[in-house]
Structure 1
Protein backbone atom coordinates (compact mmCIF):
# COMPACT_ATOMS: atom_id res chain seq x y z
CA UNK A 1 0.00 0.00 0.00
CA UNK A 2 1.48 3.36 -0.99
CA UNK A 3 2.27 6.03 1.55
CA UNK A 4 0.39 9.30 1.13
CA UNK A 5 2.41 12.51 1.29
CA UNK A 6 1.26 15.74 2.88
CA UNK A 7 0.17 17.29 -0.42
CA UNK A 8 -1.99 14.30 -1.30
CA UNK A 9 -3.53 14.32 2.18
CA UNK A 10 -4.55 17.94 1.72
CA UNK A 11 -6.06 17.18 -1.70
CA UNK A 12 -8.04 14.31 -0.15
CA UNK A 13 -9.13 16.63 2.66
CA UNK A 14 -10.36 19.29 0.21
CA UNK A 15 -12.27 16.80 -1.94
CA UNK A 16 -13.93 15.07 1.02
CA UNK A 17 -14.87 18.38 2.63
CA UNK A 18 -16.35 19.72 -0.61
CA UNK A 19 -18.30 16.50 -1.14
CA UNK A 20 -19.52 16.47 2.45
CA UNK A 21 -20.83 20.04 2.30
CA UNK A 22 -22.61 19.42 -0.98
CA UNK A 23 -24.24 16.17 0.14
CA UNK A 24 -25.37 17.71 3.42
CA UNK A 25 -26.86 20.61 1.45
CA UNK A 26 -28.94 18.41 -0.87
CA UNK A 27 -26.79 18.17 -4.02
CA UNK A 28 -27.12 15.27 -6.47
CA UNK A 29 -24.50 12.56 -6.05
CA UNK A 30 -23.26 12.81 -9.64
CA UNK A 31 -22.69 16.56 -9.15
CA UNK A 32 -20.76 15.81 -5.94
CA UNK A 33 -18.53 13.27 -7.66
CA UNK A 34 -17.94 15.58 -10.62
CA UNK A 35 -16.93 18.46 -8.32
CA UNK A 36 -14.52 16.27 -6.35
CA UNK A 37 -12.93 14.96 -9.55
CA UNK A 38 -12.54 18.46 -10.99
CA UNK A 39 -10.88 19.72 -7.79
CA UNK A 40 -8.49 16.77 -7.79
CA UNK A 41 -7.69 17.23 -11.48
CA UNK A 42 -6.86 20.88 -10.85
CA UNK A 43 -4.15 19.71 -8.42
CA UNK A 44 -2.69 17.37 -11.07
CA UNK A 45 -4.28 14.15 -9.82
CA UNK A 46 -4.36 11.93 -12.90
CA UNK A 47 -6.95 9.31 -11.97
CA UNK A 48 -9.07 10.42 -8.97
CA UNK A 49 -11.62 7.97 -7.59
CA UNK A 50 -14.74 9.44 -6.01
CA UNK A 51 -17.89 7.70 -4.87
CA UNK A 52 -20.87 9.36 -3.21
CA UNK A 53 -24.10 8.05 -1.73
CA UNK A 54 -26.70 9.96 0.29
CA UNK A 55 -25.05 8.73 3.53
CA UNK A 56 -21.33 8.80 2.73
CA UNK A 57 -18.66 10.18 0.43
CA UNK A 58 -15.44 8.35 -0.47
CA UNK A 59 -12.34 9.49 -2.30
CA UNK A 60 -8.87 8.27 -3.22
CA UNK A 61 -6.23 9.88 -5.42
CA UNK A 62 -5.73 6.68 -7.43
CA UNK A 63 -7.21 3.17 -7.66
CA UNK A 64 -4.21 1.63 -5.87
CA UNK A 65 -4.14 4.10 -2.94
CA UNK A 66 -6.23 3.86 0.26
CA UNK A 67 -9.78 5.15 0.09
CA UNK A 68 -10.94 7.75 2.61
CA UNK A 69 -14.57 8.23 3.58
CA UNK A 70 -16.77 10.69 5.45
CA UNK A 71 -20.13 9.76 6.97
CA UNK A 72 -23.16 11.94 6.20
CA UNK A 73 -25.62 11.82 9.10
CA UNK A 74 -27.81 14.85 8.41
CA UNK A 75 -29.07 16.32 5.16
CA UNK A 76 -30.98 19.49 4.43
CA UNK A 77 -31.64 21.82 1.50
CA UNK A 78 -29.18 24.69 1.21
CA UNK A 79 -28.58 25.64 -2.41
CA UNK A 80 -26.52 28.64 -1.24
CA UNK A 81 -23.79 26.36 0.13
CA UNK A 82 -23.82 24.25 -3.02
CA UNK A 83 -23.29 27.40 -5.07
CA UNK A 84 -20.42 28.56 -2.84
CA UNK A 85 -18.67 25.18 -3.10
CA UNK A 86 -19.03 25.30 -6.89
CA UNK A 87 -17.46 28.77 -6.86
CA UNK A 88 -14.51 27.46 -4.86
CA UNK A 89 -14.21 24.55 -7.28
CA UNK A 90 -14.08 26.91 -10.26
CA UNK A 91 -11.49 29.11 -8.54
CA UNK A 92 -9.33 26.05 -7.86
CA UNK A 93 -9.64 24.93 -11.49
CA UNK A 94 -8.63 28.42 -12.65
CA UNK A 95 -5.55 28.33 -10.42
CA UNK A 96 -6.74 31.20 -8.24
CA UNK A 97 -6.61 29.29 -4.92
CA UNK A 98 -3.86 27.36 -3.22
CA UNK A 99 -4.56 24.19 -1.23
CA UNK A 100 -4.49 26.04 2.09
CA UNK A 101 -6.75 28.84 0.81
CA UNK A 102 -9.24 26.31 -0.55
CA UNK A 103 -9.37 24.42 2.76
CA UNK A 104 -9.92 27.69 4.63
CA UNK A 105 -12.75 28.77 2.32
CA UNK A 106 -14.48 25.38 2.53
CA UNK A 107 -14.30 25.41 6.33
CA UNK A 108 -15.90 28.88 6.31
CA UNK A 109 -18.71 27.60 4.07
CA UNK A 110 -19.27 24.55 6.29
CA UNK A 111 -19.58 26.71 9.43
CA UNK A 112 -22.14 29.09 7.94
CA UNK A 113 -25.72 28.76 9.07
CA UNK A 114 -28.53 28.68 6.57
CA UNK A 115 -28.73 31.83 4.46
CA UNK A 116 -32.28 32.58 5.63
CA UNK A 117 -33.28 32.74 9.27
CA UNK A 118 -35.86 30.35 10.72
CA UNK A 119 -38.46 33.11 10.90
CA UNK A 120 -37.85 33.96 7.24
CA UNK A 121 -38.30 30.28 6.30
CA UNK A 122 -41.56 30.09 8.26
CA UNK A 123 -42.86 33.29 6.66
CA UNK A 124 -41.96 32.00 3.19
CA UNK A 125 -43.66 28.66 3.90
CA UNK A 126 -46.78 30.45 5.12
CA UNK A 127 -46.96 32.65 2.03
CA UNK A 128 -46.31 29.70 -0.28
CA UNK A 129 -49.09 27.72 1.40
CA UNK A 130 -51.57 30.52 0.88
CA UNK A 131 -50.57 30.95 -2.77
CA UNK A 132 -50.85 27.21 -3.42
CA UNK A 133 -54.47 27.33 -2.23
CA UNK A 134 -55.29 29.81 -4.98
CA UNK A 135 -53.19 27.85 -7.50
CA UNK A 136 -55.11 24.64 -6.79
CA UNK A 137 -58.51 26.25 -7.29
CA UNK A 138 -59.27 27.49 -3.80
CA UNK A 139 -60.93 30.77 -2.92
CA UNK A 140 -59.51 33.92 -1.37
CA UNK A 141 -61.60 33.10 1.69
CA UNK A 142 -59.11 30.27 2.40
CA UNK A 143 -56.01 32.38 1.74
CA UNK A 144 -55.51 33.56 5.34
CA UNK A 145 -56.36 30.20 7.00
CA UNK A 146 -53.87 28.48 4.71
CA UNK A 147 -51.28 31.16 5.49
CA UNK A 148 -51.62 30.53 9.23
CA UNK A 149 -51.88 26.76 8.90
CA UNK A 150 -48.87 26.49 6.59
CA UNK A 151 -46.71 28.69 8.81
CA UNK A 152 -47.58 26.82 12.00
CA UNK A 153 -47.19 23.45 10.25
CA UNK A 154 -43.74 24.30 8.91
CA UNK A 155 -42.65 25.72 12.27
CA UNK A 156 -43.82 22.56 14.02
CA UNK A 157 -41.84 20.44 11.56
CA UNK A 158 -38.68 22.41 12.34
CA UNK A 159 -39.37 22.06 16.07
CA UNK A 160 -40.00 18.30 16.01
CA UNK A 161 -37.00 17.75 13.74
CA UNK A 162 -34.75 19.53 16.22
CA UNK A 163 -36.18 17.69 19.23
CA UNK A 164 -36.63 14.20 17.77
CA UNK A 165 -33.97 14.29 15.02
CA UNK A 166 -36.11 11.91 12.94
CA UNK A 167 -37.37 13.67 9.84
CA UNK A 168 -40.20 11.27 9.02
CA UNK A 169 -41.75 11.61 12.49
CA UNK A 170 -41.42 15.39 12.38
CA UNK A 171 -43.22 15.56 9.02
CA UNK A 172 -45.90 13.18 10.24
CA UNK A 173 -46.44 15.35 13.34
CA UNK A 174 -46.50 18.52 11.27
CA UNK A 175 -49.12 17.10 8.89
CA UNK A 176 -51.27 16.09 11.87
CA UNK A 177 -51.13 19.66 13.16
CA UNK A 178 -51.96 20.99 9.69
CA UNK A 179 -54.98 18.71 9.47
CA UNK A 180 -56.19 19.73 12.92
CA UNK A 181 -55.86 23.44 12.16
CA UNK A 182 -57.61 23.12 8.80
CA UNK A 183 -60.56 21.25 10.33
CA UNK A 184 -60.72 23.73 13.21
CA UNK A 185 -60.71 26.79 10.95
CA UNK A 186 -63.50 25.39 8.77
CA UNK A 187 -65.45 24.38 11.89
CA UNK A 188 -65.43 27.95 13.24
CA UNK A 189 -66.25 29.26 9.72
CA UNK A 190 -62.86 30.95 9.35
CA UNK A 191 -62.13 28.75 6.33
CA UNK A 192 -64.26 27.32 3.56
CA UNK A 193 -62.70 24.14 2.13
CA UNK A 194 -60.70 21.76 4.33
CA UNK A 195 -59.07 19.93 1.44
CA UNK A 196 -57.79 23.10 -0.25
CA UNK A 197 -56.33 24.43 3.01
CA UNK A 198 -54.58 21.13 3.74
CA UNK A 199 -53.22 20.77 0.21
CA UNK A 200 -51.79 24.28 0.29
CA UNK A 201 -50.35 23.95 3.78
CA UNK A 202 -48.54 20.64 3.18
CA UNK A 203 -46.86 21.81 -0.02
CA UNK A 204 -43.80 23.29 1.82
CA UNK A 205 -43.30 19.84 3.37
CA UNK A 206 -43.43 17.94 0.07
CA UNK A 207 -39.98 16.49 -0.84
CA UNK A 208 -39.69 18.13 -4.22
CA UNK A 209 -35.89 18.42 -4.28
CA UNK A 210 -35.23 14.78 -3.21
CA UNK A 211 -37.61 13.55 -5.93
CA UNK A 212 -35.87 15.69 -8.55
CA UNK A 213 -32.42 14.58 -7.39
CA UNK A 214 -33.49 10.94 -7.39
CA UNK A 215 -34.64 11.17 -11.01
CA UNK A 216 -31.49 13.05 -12.07
CA UNK A 217 -29.22 10.51 -10.33
CA UNK A 218 -31.06 7.61 -11.97
CA UNK A 219 -30.74 9.26 -15.38
CA UNK A 220 -27.02 9.79 -14.73
CA UNK A 221 -26.57 6.09 -13.94
CA UNK A 222 -26.20 6.43 -10.16
CA UNK A 223 -28.68 3.66 -9.37
CA UNK A 224 -27.87 3.21 -5.66
CA UNK A 225 -28.15 6.91 -4.87
CA UNK A 226 -31.19 7.39 -7.11
CA UNK A 227 -33.13 4.51 -5.57
CA UNK A 228 -32.24 5.45 -1.99
CA UNK A 229 -33.28 9.07 -2.53
CA UNK A 230 -36.46 7.92 -4.20
CA UNK A 231 -37.30 5.69 -1.24
CA UNK A 232 -36.55 8.56 1.14
CA UNK A 233 -38.88 10.86 -0.79
CA UNK A 234 -41.56 8.15 -0.84
CA UNK A 235 -41.33 7.66 2.93
CA UNK A 236 -41.56 11.41 3.46
CA UNK A 237 -44.65 11.65 1.25
CA UNK A 238 -46.14 8.65 3.08
CA UNK A 239 -45.54 10.31 6.45
CA UNK A 240 -47.27 13.49 5.27
CA UNK A 241 -50.23 11.59 3.85
CA UNK A 242 -50.53 9.40 6.94
CA UNK A 243 -50.66 12.42 9.23
CA UNK A 244 -53.50 13.97 7.25
CA UNK A 245 -55.28 10.61 7.01
CA UNK A 246 -55.22 10.26 10.81
CA UNK A 247 -57.13 13.53 11.16
CA UNK A 248 -59.73 12.57 8.56
CA UNK A 249 -60.15 9.21 10.29
CA UNK A 250 -60.77 10.90 13.63
CA UNK A 251 -63.21 13.52 12.38
Structure 2
Protein backbone atom coordinates (compact mmCIF):
# COMPACT_ATOMS: atom_id res chain seq x y z
CA UNK A 1 0.00 0.00 0.00
CA UNK A 2 1.38 3.40 -1.01
CA UNK A 3 2.02 5.72 1.92
CA UNK A 4 1.54 9.49 1.87
CA UNK A 5 5.33 10.02 1.90
CA UNK A 6 5.85 7.70 -1.07
CA UNK A 7 3.06 9.44 -2.97
CA UNK A 8 4.64 12.84 -2.30
CA UNK A 9 8.02 11.56 -3.47
CA UNK A 10 6.48 10.17 -6.65
CA UNK A 11 4.66 13.42 -7.48
CA UNK A 12 7.74 15.51 -6.75
CA UNK A 13 9.96 13.26 -8.85
CA UNK A 14 7.54 13.38 -11.76
CA UNK A 15 7.22 17.15 -11.38
CA UNK A 16 10.98 17.72 -11.45
CA UNK A 17 11.56 15.42 -14.42
CA UNK A 18 8.75 16.97 -16.44
CA UNK A 19 9.99 20.51 -15.78
CA UNK A 20 13.53 19.52 -16.73
CA UNK A 21 12.34 17.72 -19.86
CA UNK A 22 10.34 20.73 -21.07
CA UNK A 23 13.21 23.16 -20.54
CA UNK A 24 15.83 20.89 -22.12
CA UNK A 25 13.68 20.03 -25.15
CA UNK A 26 12.86 23.71 -25.68
CA UNK A 27 16.44 24.97 -25.85
CA UNK A 28 17.31 25.68 -22.21
CA UNK A 29 20.83 25.39 -20.85
CA UNK A 30 21.91 22.31 -18.90
CA UNK A 31 22.66 24.21 -15.71
CA UNK A 32 19.24 25.89 -15.89
CA UNK A 33 17.58 22.48 -16.09
CA UNK A 34 19.48 21.15 -13.09
CA UNK A 35 18.91 24.32 -11.05
CA UNK A 36 15.16 24.29 -11.76
CA UNK A 37 14.81 20.63 -10.78
CA UNK A 38 16.74 21.11 -7.53
CA UNK A 39 14.71 24.20 -6.62
CA UNK A 40 11.42 22.40 -7.24
CA UNK A 41 12.53 19.45 -5.12
CA UNK A 42 13.67 21.76 -2.30
CA UNK A 43 10.37 23.66 -2.38
CA UNK A 44 8.55 20.33 -2.10
CA UNK A 45 10.50 19.31 0.99
CA UNK A 46 13.41 17.34 -0.54
CA UNK A 47 16.51 19.58 -0.25
CA UNK A 48 19.02 16.75 -0.70
CA UNK A 49 17.98 15.70 -4.23
CA UNK A 50 20.49 15.26 -7.05
CA UNK A 51 20.25 15.66 -10.81
CA UNK A 52 22.51 14.94 -13.77
CA UNK A 53 21.58 16.32 -17.19
CA UNK A 54 22.99 15.72 -20.66
CA UNK A 55 21.51 16.85 -24.01
CA UNK A 56 20.03 13.37 -24.50
CA UNK A 57 18.87 12.39 -21.02
CA UNK A 58 18.04 13.41 -17.45
CA UNK A 59 18.89 11.41 -14.33
CA UNK A 60 17.19 12.56 -11.14
CA UNK A 61 17.44 11.10 -7.65
CA UNK A 62 15.04 12.39 -5.02
CA UNK A 63 16.03 12.23 -1.36
CA UNK A 64 14.00 10.72 1.42
CA UNK A 65 13.72 7.55 3.44
CA UNK A 66 13.71 5.43 0.27
CA UNK A 67 15.70 7.29 -2.42
CA UNK A 68 14.38 6.75 -5.94
CA UNK A 69 16.39 7.38 -9.12
CA UNK A 70 14.59 7.96 -12.40
CA UNK A 71 15.76 8.53 -15.97
CA UNK A 72 14.12 10.37 -18.88
CA UNK A 73 15.35 10.07 -22.46
CA UNK A 74 15.44 13.25 -24.58
CA UNK A 75 15.18 12.34 -28.26
CA UNK A 76 13.93 15.59 -29.78
CA UNK A 77 15.15 19.12 -29.15
CA UNK A 78 14.02 22.42 -30.63
CA UNK A 79 14.01 26.13 -29.84
CA UNK A 80 10.89 27.26 -27.99
CA UNK A 81 11.90 29.80 -25.38
CA UNK A 82 8.27 30.54 -24.51
CA UNK A 83 7.98 27.05 -22.99
CA UNK A 84 11.20 27.64 -21.05
CA UNK A 85 9.69 30.82 -19.65
CA UNK A 86 6.42 29.10 -18.73
CA UNK A 87 8.21 26.21 -17.01
CA UNK A 88 10.38 28.64 -15.05
CA UNK A 89 7.26 30.56 -14.02
CA UNK A 90 5.71 27.38 -12.62
CA UNK A 91 8.93 26.70 -10.71
CA UNK A 92 8.96 30.19 -9.19
CA UNK A 93 5.27 30.06 -8.22
CA UNK A 94 5.80 26.65 -6.61
CA UNK A 95 8.79 27.97 -4.64
CA UNK A 96 6.70 30.95 -3.45
CA UNK A 97 3.89 28.66 -2.32
CA UNK A 98 1.41 29.95 -4.90
CA UNK A 99 0.97 26.46 -6.38
CA UNK A 100 0.78 23.03 -4.85
CA UNK A 101 2.81 20.15 -6.32
CA UNK A 102 -0.29 18.64 -7.91
CA UNK A 103 -1.32 21.98 -9.44
CA UNK A 104 2.20 22.58 -10.74
CA UNK A 105 2.30 19.10 -12.28
CA UNK A 106 -1.02 19.69 -14.04
CA UNK A 107 0.21 23.04 -15.33
CA UNK A 108 3.45 21.51 -16.66
CA UNK A 109 1.50 18.81 -18.48
CA UNK A 110 -0.52 21.54 -20.17
CA UNK A 111 2.69 23.34 -21.18
CA UNK A 112 4.19 20.13 -22.58
CA UNK A 113 1.09 19.38 -24.65
CA UNK A 114 0.61 22.94 -25.89
CA UNK A 115 1.87 24.06 -29.29
CA UNK A 116 2.92 27.61 -28.61
CA UNK A 117 5.26 27.93 -31.58
CA UNK A 118 4.44 30.45 -34.28
CA UNK A 119 2.81 29.17 -37.49
CA UNK A 120 5.12 28.13 -40.30
CA UNK A 121 4.16 31.01 -42.60
CA UNK A 122 5.03 33.56 -39.92
CA UNK A 123 8.39 31.89 -39.26
CA UNK A 124 9.17 32.02 -42.98
CA UNK A 125 8.20 35.70 -43.25
CA UNK A 126 10.30 36.50 -40.18
CA UNK A 127 13.28 34.56 -41.56
CA UNK A 128 12.99 36.40 -44.88
CA UNK A 129 12.88 39.80 -43.18
CA UNK A 130 15.78 38.90 -40.89
CA UNK A 131 17.85 37.84 -43.90
CA UNK A 132 17.40 41.24 -45.50
CA UNK A 133 18.19 43.02 -42.24
CA UNK A 134 21.38 41.03 -41.79
CA UNK A 135 22.45 42.02 -45.28
CA UNK A 136 22.04 45.69 -44.36
CA UNK A 137 23.87 45.12 -41.07
CA UNK A 138 26.81 43.68 -43.01
CA UNK A 139 26.89 46.95 -45.00
CA UNK A 140 25.07 45.61 -48.04
CA UNK A 141 23.07 47.82 -50.38
CA UNK A 142 19.31 48.27 -50.23
CA UNK A 143 19.09 47.05 -53.83
CA UNK A 144 20.05 43.58 -52.50
CA UNK A 145 17.50 43.61 -49.66
CA UNK A 146 14.75 41.86 -51.63
CA UNK A 147 17.03 39.17 -53.16
CA UNK A 148 18.34 38.34 -49.68
CA UNK A 149 14.77 38.16 -48.36
CA UNK A 150 13.68 35.79 -51.12
CA UNK A 151 16.72 33.52 -50.81
CA UNK A 152 16.57 33.43 -47.00
CA UNK A 153 12.81 32.83 -46.93
CA UNK A 154 13.01 30.03 -49.51
CA UNK A 155 15.86 28.32 -47.68
CA UNK A 156 14.09 28.50 -44.32
CA UNK A 157 10.82 27.24 -45.83
CA UNK A 158 12.67 24.24 -47.27
CA UNK A 159 14.29 23.63 -43.87
CA UNK A 160 10.89 23.51 -42.14
CA UNK A 161 9.51 21.18 -44.81
CA UNK A 162 12.48 18.81 -44.72
CA UNK A 163 12.47 18.59 -40.91
CA UNK A 164 9.06 16.92 -41.16
CA UNK A 165 10.23 14.16 -43.50
CA UNK A 166 14.01 13.86 -43.09
CA UNK A 167 15.14 12.49 -39.71
CA UNK A 168 18.74 13.63 -40.27
CA UNK A 169 18.66 17.36 -39.52
CA UNK A 170 22.13 18.03 -40.95
CA UNK A 171 21.02 16.76 -44.36
CA UNK A 172 18.07 19.19 -44.25
CA UNK A 173 20.38 22.07 -43.34
CA UNK A 174 22.78 21.12 -46.15
CA UNK A 175 19.99 21.16 -48.76
CA UNK A 176 18.56 24.42 -47.42
CA UNK A 177 21.95 26.11 -47.59
CA UNK A 178 22.43 24.75 -51.13
CA UNK A 179 19.10 26.26 -52.20
CA UNK A 180 20.08 29.60 -50.66
CA UNK A 181 23.41 29.49 -52.47
CA UNK A 182 21.79 28.56 -55.78
CA UNK A 183 19.17 31.31 -55.56
CA UNK A 184 21.77 33.91 -54.57
CA UNK A 185 23.95 33.02 -57.53
CA UNK A 186 20.94 33.01 -59.84
CA UNK A 187 19.81 36.44 -58.68
CA UNK A 188 23.27 37.89 -59.29
CA UNK A 189 23.59 36.22 -62.70
CA UNK A 190 20.30 37.70 -63.94
CA UNK A 191 21.08 41.14 -62.53
CA UNK A 192 18.45 41.04 -59.78
CA UNK A 193 21.19 41.00 -57.10
CA UNK A 194 24.60 42.61 -57.00
CA UNK A 195 26.81 41.57 -54.05
CA UNK A 196 26.80 37.77 -54.02
CA UNK A 197 28.79 37.27 -50.82
CA UNK A 198 26.60 39.59 -48.74
CA UNK A 199 23.38 38.10 -50.11
CA UNK A 200 24.57 34.62 -49.18
CA UNK A 201 25.76 35.62 -45.72
CA UNK A 202 22.55 37.45 -44.89
CA UNK A 203 20.36 34.65 -46.23
CA UNK A 204 21.99 31.83 -44.26
CA UNK A 205 21.85 33.66 -40.92
CA UNK A 206 18.41 32.20 -39.97
CA UNK A 207 19.99 28.73 -40.29
CA UNK A 208 22.96 29.50 -38.04
CA UNK A 209 22.71 27.65 -34.66
CA UNK A 210 23.19 30.76 -32.54
CA UNK A 211 21.30 29.50 -29.49
CA UNK A 212 23.14 26.18 -29.58
CA UNK A 213 26.52 27.92 -29.65
CA UNK A 214 25.48 30.23 -26.79
CA UNK A 215 24.26 27.32 -24.66
CA UNK A 216 27.46 25.36 -25.36
CA UNK A 217 29.62 28.24 -24.14
CA UNK A 218 27.43 28.84 -21.08
CA UNK A 219 27.46 25.16 -20.15
CA UNK A 220 31.25 25.02 -20.48
CA UNK A 221 31.61 28.11 -18.31
CA UNK A 222 29.27 26.57 -15.73
CA UNK A 223 31.41 23.41 -15.59
CA UNK A 224 29.07 21.10 -17.54
CA UNK A 225 31.79 19.77 -19.80
CA UNK A 226 29.90 16.83 -21.31
CA UNK A 227 26.90 18.95 -22.30
CA UNK A 228 29.04 21.86 -23.44
CA UNK A 229 31.25 19.74 -25.67
CA UNK A 230 28.33 17.78 -27.15
CA UNK A 231 26.37 20.95 -27.94
CA UNK A 232 29.50 22.53 -29.37
CA UNK A 233 30.03 19.50 -31.61
CA UNK A 234 26.39 19.66 -32.75
CA UNK A 235 26.75 23.36 -33.55
CA UNK A 236 29.96 22.65 -35.47
CA UNK A 237 28.27 19.95 -37.54
CA UNK A 238 25.37 22.30 -38.31
CA UNK A 239 27.75 25.07 -39.36
CA UNK A 240 29.67 22.57 -41.49
CA UNK A 241 26.46 21.45 -43.22
CA UNK A 242 25.57 25.07 -44.01
CA UNK A 243 29.07 25.81 -45.30
CA UNK A 244 29.13 22.64 -47.38
CA UNK A 245 25.81 23.51 -49.03
CA UNK A 246 27.07 26.95 -50.03
CA UNK A 247 30.41 25.55 -51.18
CA UNK A 248 28.77 22.94 -53.40
CA UNK A 249 26.67 25.57 -55.18
CA UNK A 250 29.65 27.91 -55.62
CA UNK A 251 31.65 25.04 -57.12
CA UNK A 252 28.79 23.99 -59.39
CA UNK A 253 28.23 27.52 -60.75
CA UNK A 254 31.89 28.54 -61.06
Do both share a fold (TM > 0.5)? yes
Distance 2:167 2:103 in 1: 34
d(CA) in 1 for partners of 2:165 and 2:231? 24
Q: Are the equivalent residues in 1 in contact too, given 2:49–2:62 (CA < 8 A)?
A: yes
Mapped partners of 2:53, 2:47: distance in 1: 19
Which residue among 169, 178, 181 is the counterpart of 2:180? 178
Which runs of structure 2 are paired with 1:154-173 in the superposition (5 Å)?
Answer: 154-173=156-175
Superposed displacement of residue 165, structure 1: 2.1
Separation in structure 1 between the aligned mates of residue 47 and residue 158 of structure 2, nearest angstrom? 49
Q: Structure 2 unaligned runs (5+)?
A: none
1:18 counterpart = 2:19 = yes
TM-score normalised per structure 2: 0.95
Following TM superposition, by how much is the alpha carbon of 1:147 offset from its aligned partner in structure 2, in angstroms? 0.5
Alpha carbons 2:59, 2:69 under 8 Å: kept:
yes
The residue aligned with 1:51 is 52
Aligned match of 1:233: 235
- Runs of 4+ in structure 1 off by over 6 angstroms are none
SS at match of 1:5: helix
String of CA shifts for 1:122-176, please: whole Å, max 9, x gaps: 1111000001111112111110000111111001011111110221111111000
Counterpart CA distance in 2 for 1:215 and 1:8 is 34
In structure 1, what is the Cα distance between the partners aligned to 2:52 and 2:114? Answer: 25
CA distance in 2, matches of 1:113, 1:126: 23
Q: Deviations over 1:194-250 (max 9, x none)?
A: 111110000000011010000000000000000000000000000000000000111
Q: CA deviation at 1:53?
A: 0.7
Superposed counterparts of 1:1-251, under 5 Å: 5-62=6-63, 65-251=67-253
Q: Distance in 2 between matches of 1:38 and 1:145?
A: 49
Structure 1: gaps spanning 5 or more residues: none
Structure 1, 133-142 or 224-233: larger mean CA deviation: 133-142
Task: Say what the alpha-carbon RMSD is for the aligned residues.
Answer: 1.3
Inter-partner Cα distance in structure 1 for 2:158 and 2:219: 31
Q: Deviations over 1:70-93 (max 9, x none)?
A: 111111111100000010000100
Contact conserved, 2:38 with 2:47, CA < 8 A, in 1? no
**What SS is found at the alignment partner of 1:149?**
helix
SS at match of 2:68: coil
Corresponding residue pairs, total: 249
Q: Which moved more, 1:179-188 or 1:109-118?
A: 109-118
Shift in Å, 1:62: 2.6
